[in-house]
Amino acid sequence: MNKRDREGCSRKNADPVRDGETTGDPSSPVISAFKVFQQELDTKHDKYERLVKISRDVTIESKRTIFVLHRVTSVPDAEDVLNEAEKKLDGVQQKIGQIAEELRGEDIYQFHRAFTPGIQEYVEAVSFLHYIRHHSLISLEEINARLVFMSKEKMDPKGPAEALPLGAQALTFQVMPSDYLLGVADLTGELMRLCISSVGNGDIDTPFQVSQFLRQIHEGFSCIGNTGPYEVSKKLHTLRQSLGKVEDACYALRVRGSEIPKHMLADVFSSRTAHIDPEEGVV
């Protein structure tokens, strides 16, 4: 093999990437299309991460609101606690407004997993506040009515002139039915803790009211069956545990409440709820 043949073989076996050569023409339609795909995916991933961070903030602030609401049984003026919780929820709703802004013009189902934990926690907090005020369950429509925001964006001059500030338009966020159901299921655990706090302050009526309310929620979830989200089965098990604890404690209060001093009722309530078999369901 002469020198010219050897140089030809070496050029044929050379690695174009290692030698700094390009493997394709940058002006190729295929390369251009993939660059567009890359940009779209990067934009989607960045939006997803922003939604995760906002959802985390919503979760934290919603939990703080729930902690505030649990003080309602230990203060002389419950209205002050409820007003404080309302202010915290206003801040949470502003965070949800940021989620709505991020989802403007997007397919909400592509990003649902990013923000669903925060929305479920918000539903739990707002439904807990509504129960303490009205002793009833807040509806999905009432929750969505609270999530209407103003977006500072130029309006279409051809559109109808609504009663909105100049240069602003309504921006809404609709809670999905699945997030609403899962948030309500989590509410039952907070109601069970509310019972313990109420009994500790000598309030014997609240556990029986909560027990009746939990039975209605359990009956509603039982009607859903296997048609709801797959997480409902796990939440339903926890709901049954909470209902069982409250019913068992109410039984103890009804049977032995008259012979136990009020300052010891909370200890009896807690001990009754602690000895329930976790695997035991509610018939």
pLDDT tens-place string over residues 196-244? 888 777 778 888 999 999 999 988 888 876 666 677 777 888 888 888 8
Cβ distance 82 to 133 under 8 Å? yes
Cβ distance 196 to 273 under 8 Å? yes
Domains of the chain: 28-175 (1.20.58.190), 176-283 (1.20.58.200)
The CA R_g of the chain, rounded to the nearest whole Å, is: 29
Nearest Cα neighbor of 231 from 179, 187, 188, 192 is 179
| pTM of the complete model | 0.77
Is the pLDDT assigned to residue 75 strictly greater than 50? yes
For range 44-48, the mean pLDDT: 93
